[in-house]
């Protein structure tokens, strides 16, 4: 199950989320999304603690967090 869901097409690739994740599991994807940005991603959902920090600093409401 996904603890953090990134709506990739909404991401603007600002990287703000990557800097605040205590688990350091957020990285920027390779491809470009519809808006032309490299979207942020979490592959390693296991490691996510659902701490919501990433979602709190994301300016574009890309991230939903589940627990």
The item of other proteins, ligand SF4, none sharing an interface with residue 19, based on CB under 5 to 8 Å by kind, is other proteins
Give me the 25-44 binding string for ligand SF4, x by CB under 6 A, dash otherwise: xx-------------x-x--
Is 11 near ligand SF4 (CB under 6 A)?
Answer: yes
Among residues 55, 14, 54, the alpha carbon closest in space to that of 33 is found at 14
The item of other proteins, ligand SF4, none sharing an interface with residue 25, based on CB under 5 to 8 Å by kind, is ligand SF4
Cα-flanking dihedrals φ and ψ of residue 44, to 5°? -90, 70
Parallel/antiparallel/unpaired status of strands 26-28 and 4-6: unpaired
């Amino acid at each position: 199950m996904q603890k953090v869901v990134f709506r990739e097409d909404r991401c603007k690739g600002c990287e703000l989320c990557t800097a605040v994740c205590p688990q350091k599991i957020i990285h920027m994807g390779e491809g470009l999304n519809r808006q032309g940005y490299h979207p942020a991603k979490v592959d390693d959902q296991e490691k996510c603690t659902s701490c919501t920090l990433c979602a709190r600093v994301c300016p574009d409401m890309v991230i939903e967090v589940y627990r």
